[in-house]
Structure 1
Amino acid sequence: MTRYYLPAAIFGLLLAFWFSPDVQEIAAGVAIFLFGMLMLEDGFKLLGGGTLESVLEKATASTPRAISFGVLSTTLLQSSSLVSIVTISFLSAGLISLIGGVGIIFGANIGTTTGAWLVAGLGLKVNIAAYAMPMIAISVILVFQKAKALRGIGYALAGLGFLFLGIHYMKEGFDAFKDQIDLTRFALSGLLGLFVYSLIGTAATVVMQSSHATMVLILTALAAGQISYENALALAIGANIGTTITAIIGSLGANFQGKRLALAHLIFNMATAIVALLLIVPLREAVDWISDMVGIDPDDYAMKLAVFHTIFNVLGVALMLPTLGRLIPFLETRIPEPVPDVSRPRYLNEAVDEFPQTLEIALRKEVSHLYDNATELILHGLNLHRDQIFAAEDVAALVRKSRRPLELDLTEAYERRVKTLYSGIVEFTSRVGDKQVAPDIAERIFAHRDVASNIVQAVKSIKHLRKNVLRYTVRPQGVTTELYDDLRTQIARIAIEIKKLSLAEPEDRSALWLDQERARIEEDARSTTNRVGALIRKGELSPAAATSFMNDSGYAYDAMRDLIEAARSYYIERDSAMAEVERILSLDEEELNEAMTSKRPLEGAETDTRST
């Protein structure tokens, strides 16, 4: 069906152009208007530099604030579709709650009515094409500037210019069209007219993907006398239903939360439309009363349509707000949260790809998910239960007691629970280069990818340890078992400390601790080397067993280094005021290298070979 849609649409337009050249002007007006909306959206994205996303994250503390944000943002952007997509993106990334997202959608429906007021009050009464041309001309100069803010202003200015120009051509097209064909001959009254024209309004919005464009088309046609006022009301109701298609399409690549929001949008707009259709007579009377009260001419049907559009959207919000307590549980029941699959990405989906803020935060959460999987595999690979280790008061004693081998195919578990996630993270970050992402955000995104790489390397190191851990720690075998128990204890201790770091408040996290741990790792590595040398000299450890253990200890200390480096990049905020102080006080790389090179060489063992 989809493959025939585009050719059919083009053929239909060409056929209409053949029968009436004036249709070309109307169609061109719609196209220019839609192009203007796209440029306006791009301009605000550049100009905002993430401002919209940042405000959205803070604007959902309460339902009234969420609704207010929906009204304000849609009024400024003149695109409820963009606000819906941003909201779905943030909801999918877990930055806002479902009830906050629903509140924004409610507000966006009210905010979209401002477009009708602007067109009816200004666009149809003033020669706005005269303003459009200078705006477009100036915008071209700004678009080619290097400064991001100037380019954003240029795109926004061009968007407004094309919006005005599109409205002008639609108006001119309908005025000329009126002299050839009188569309009012197709007017339908009564319930049939309401039903048919509501469907037409829905279909038009689905095709154009913009209720704003549909409303402009309705207003210009109404002003030119090509449709009746009654049918225009039905078209406006249908446009409100059709606008949900954008949210539905946007939710296809989202997680379950995004799909819940799209369903809420559909329910809200459908309920509002049904109420408007049932109460069409009292609503018309209310429009007449309000129009008389504010001084709108009785024959100014375009302005009266704007009043109607506002009334029924505000009425819809007023009716739906008391049902929020039931709507949210219904959405959660209708679209349940799927059982988490630890082997698949949870947060990386197409919906969060749209905006830099959600890109970064979703990736950060996915890296945390990867670390959770990796920590479990690392500890289980050492025959240690993660929950017991994190709850233990004496880690060394717990390690000495942990002799029972855990049923684990570490290679298979690595492929399923670590490599799959890491591949998703790498693929996700590779798409950043195709997007207009600020350098600082791109830098943090690539830093998260490096954190994931450190985590994966730590798991790979433990894979090398697994064989001899099973060999020497399931049954006590004297000094060799003690050496492997020490390695297990040190790795478990690092995992515990990183867990504490994750639970600490951001302002309480310090890079100094990580430097101390890194120095301690190097000291432990040197002590282990010296201890093994002493055991060889005493005859308590054979050179062959020593070589095997030193290879394994190399993997163990590499794993600890990778975990420490991952924790440093992930948890320590380098933009805080304390970061510079910590940088001065912390150990630098030269000091760490000095600590590493000061260790004595192992006597009687090859320490640079990693084969077991």
Structure 2
Amino acid sequence: MEANVQDIIFMFIGGLAIFLFGIKYLGDGLQKVAGDKLRDILDKYTSNPVMGVISGVVVTVLLQTSTGTTVLTIGLVNAGFMTFRQAIGVIMGANIGTTATAFIIGLQISDYALPILAVGTFLIFFLKNKKANNFGQVFFGFGALFYGLNLMGEGLEPIREVEAFADLTVSMSQTPILGVIIGVIFTVSVQSSTAAIGLLQQLYAQGAMDIHAALPVLFGDNIGTTITAILASLGASLSAKRAAMAHVIFNLLGTIVVLIFIQPFIAMMIYIKDRFMLNEEMTIAVAHGLFNGTNVLIQLPFVAVLAWIVTKLIPGKETLIEYKAQHLDPVLINQSSSIALGQAKKETLRMAELATQGLHEAGQFADTKQKKHAEMTYQLEDGVNNLDKKITDYLVRISTNSLTAADSRIHSLLMDTVRDLERVGDHMENIVELTEYQIANKVKMSESAMVDLREMFALTSETLKEAIRALEDDDVEAAKSAMQKEEQVDKMERQFRKKHIMRLNDGSCEGSAGIIFVDMISNLERIGDHATNIAETVINE
């Protein structure tokens, strides 16, 4: 019996591991195949809650994770591309989209898991085409999902003979709330409602539990997935916390309603199973789809109320980053190149403001190690990249016109400035990644090094602000001041490198911390260089 217990445990945890890997690999592959289209779908097709639901379904089916959809949605809310009310529609759609894997499992094509894995392997290793490799990843993830599911099923087969488990399933049948709690606990444990529901499908198919016990566990799985979202939102932005709370309230209300009508729901599922001759796995998938679909239909008209409740529960002012260009009117290009260039300058100054904010947030993250500053930096860097593309495209279209000598100089100045600001965005992102590496590897930096970093952040930030002021006001004196400050940044970098070597020699700083420190001040020095480039264009103009 001991060997059997070992086999059960090994096959279950091995199968679960392969299943979870399959889901992740499949989602990553689908995301690569779709490219940037997922974000575009959420950006363009969420004008109202109904379109938000449809977009949420499509993106979640492609990502194979409702959490991934929620993260994308939070980014778009922070960017000002969608309101929190629209985001709730996407979150509702994500709940429906996450049922797709359960339906795929219900098709019972697990007998073909190994050939599917073989196809994926061939596409990944024997073809040099990037697109074919991406599809290979999809096939391999798909096959791994089913192979892991098979192993879990085989491992769990003997469990129906265990008396204690039989007693537990009877208790769950008699007390649905117990099943809900077990579903919550297991989903939180494996951090995936898809894996929890896949396991439930296997247990039901093996006859280890009946439908009266299985459905409450299914509802618990839906609540469990919201707790993983809550845990992920701790220390995150206000929008992330609100999105997680909306997810919790949505699923919690749905579960409460279905538990009130649990017996009619079970009777309906038994009828559907018999009427359409569904297998056990498909029965759970249909129950999952009906639960989430009905929940959306009931709560969709009350999206505004749900948004109001969440805002009251988690008060605060949202920090919105306006990604969208505000001044680039294409009509002006043909009417007046001079006015169009003026508008492009206004947008460039907005881009500069985002870069300045991003540098500040990167400095705060390096100092406090609070996750919210890293998230804000990444969002600001996204905003800088977006405006870089929009402004550059706008300036290229202006260049097709016949420009005066003065307009040509302004055009050239703006093109150079936009390029420099984009590079500033890259460097502030590098600083955040270095800090994340420091946190992940538990690298401790000496207090002396932190004092130096704060000083250099302050001077670099002031240099960038001075250069931007020079650009905004066409102020040559401000530009010269920025260049003088940049010389101080250069001297500071050289001085701090020497101090760092002294700290290494006297043992007050670790070698790994020193590498991070040097990379950080190097990135700050480069930001100073780009600030100088902006100032020089003002002087040369």
Shorter-chain TM-score: what band? 0.5 to 0.7
Deviation at 1:30, TM superposition (A): 1.4
1:552 Cα deviation from its structure 2 partner: 8.5
TM-score, scaled relative to structure 1 = 0.56
Q: How far apart are residue 296 of structure 1 and its match? A: 2.3
Identical residues among aligned pairs (%):
29
Q: Distance in 1 between matches of 2:74 and 2:154?
A: 38
Structure 2 residue aligned with 1:495: 472
The 5 A counterparts of 1:278-297 are 278-291=260-273, 293=275, 295-296=276-277
Alpha-carbon spacing, 1:282–1:34, altered in 2? closer, same or farther (3 Å): same
**Is the alpha carbon distance of 1:18 and 1:167 closer, same or farther for their aligned partners in structure 2, counting shifts above 3 Å?**
closer
Question: How many angstroms apart in 2 are the aligned matches of 1:356 and 1:304?
Answer: 45
C-alpha change, 1:160 and 1:354, in structure 2 (3 Å) is farther
The aligned counterpart of 1:157 is 139
Change beyond 3 A, Cα 1:285–1:457: same
Q: Which position in structure 1 is the counterpart of 2:119?
A: 138
Alignment partner for residue 242 of structure 1, among 209, 214, 224?
A: 224
Q: Give the Cα–Cα distance (whole angstroms) in 2 for the partners of residues 567 and 82 of structure 1.
A: 40
**Distance change >3 Å, CA 361–CA 339, structure 1 → 2:** closer
CA deviation vs aligned residue, 1:481-516 (integer Å, no higher than 9, x gap): xxxxxxxxxx78x5258xxxxxxxxxxxxxxxxxxx
In 1, Cα distance between the equivalents of 2:478 and 2:70?
53
Q: Give the match's secondary structure for 1:188.
A: helix
Q: Report the 3-state secondary structure (helix = DSSP H, G, I; strand = E; otherwise coil) of the residue aligned with 1:186.
A: helix
Partner of 1:381: none
> In 2, are the aligned partners of 1:209 and 1:246 still within 8 Å (CA)?
yes
SS of the aligned residue for 1:345 comes to helix
Query: What residue ranges of structure 2 are gaps of 5+ in the alignment?
Result: 321-356, 389-424, 439-457, 486-526
Match of 1:38 among 21, 24, 38: 24
1:166 equivalenced with 2:148 (yes/no): yes
Matched, 1:303 2:229: no
Q: Which has the higher helix share?
A: 2
Does residue 1:555 correspond to 2:493, yes or no?
no
Counting only pairs closer than 5 Å after superposition, residues 175-324 of structure 1 correspond to structure 2 as: 175-178=157-160, 183-189=165-171, 193-291=175-273, 293=275, 295-296=276-277, 300-324=279-303
Deviation at 1:553, TM superposition (A): 8.4
Q: Which residue of 1 aligns with 2:463?
A: 457
Are the counterparts in 1 of residues 200 and 214 from structure 2 also a CA contact under 8 Å?
Answer: yes
**Aligned positions of 1:359-374 closer than 5 A:** 360-362=381-383
**Aligned residue in 2 for 1:98:** 84
Distance 1:312 1:69 in 2: 19
Q: Give the whole-Å Cα distance in 2 for the aligned partners of 1:90 and 1:567.
A: 33
After superposition, give the CA deviation of every residue in 1:439-477 in whole Å (9 maximum; x if it has no partner). Answer: xxxxxxxxxxxxx99974254679xxxxxxxxxxxxxxx
- Residue pair 1:88, 1:254 contacting (<8 A) in 2 also: no
How far did residue 243 of structure 1 move? 0.7
* Other structure's SS at 1:337 match: coil
Note the C-alpha offset of 1:231: 0.5
For 1:494-552, what per-residue CA distance to the aligned partner results, in whole angstroms no more than 9, with x for missing partners?
Answer: 5258xxxxxxxxxxxxxxxxxxxxxxx8xxx7xxxxxxxxxxxxxxxxxxxxxxxxx98
Paired with 1:116 and 1:181, the residues of 2 have a C-alpha distance of 28
Question: Structure 1 pair 460/344, CA: closer, same or farther in 2 (3 Å)?
Answer: closer
Aligned to 2:43: 57
* Larger Rg over CA atoms: 1
Q: Deviation of residue 554 (structure 1)?
A: 3.9
| TM-aligned CA distance change 1:196 to 1:315, over 3 Å | same
What is the CA distance between 1:322 and its match in structure 2? 2.3
Check whether the contact 1:139–1:157 (CA below 8 A) recurs between aligned residues.
Answer: yes
Q: CA RMSD in A?
A: 4.5
In structure 1, C-alpha distance between the alignment counterparts of 2:478 and 2:59, rounded to whole Å: 58
C-alpha contact 2:89 2:303 (8 A) present in aligned 1: no
Tell me the TM-score normalized by structure 2.
0.63
Are the aligned partners of 2:229 and 2:244 in contact in 1 as well (CA < 8 Å)? Answer: yes
Task: State the Cα distance separating 1:323 from its structure 2 match.
Answer: 2.0
Q: Deviations over 1:573-608 (max 9, x none)?
A: xxxxxxxxxxxxxxxx9xx99x79xxxxxxxxxxxx
Per-residue deviation, 1:259:
0.6
Query: Structure 2 CA distance, aligned partners of 1:279 and 1:21?
Result: 40
Contact 2:463 2:482 in 1 (8 A): no
How many residues are aligned here? 402
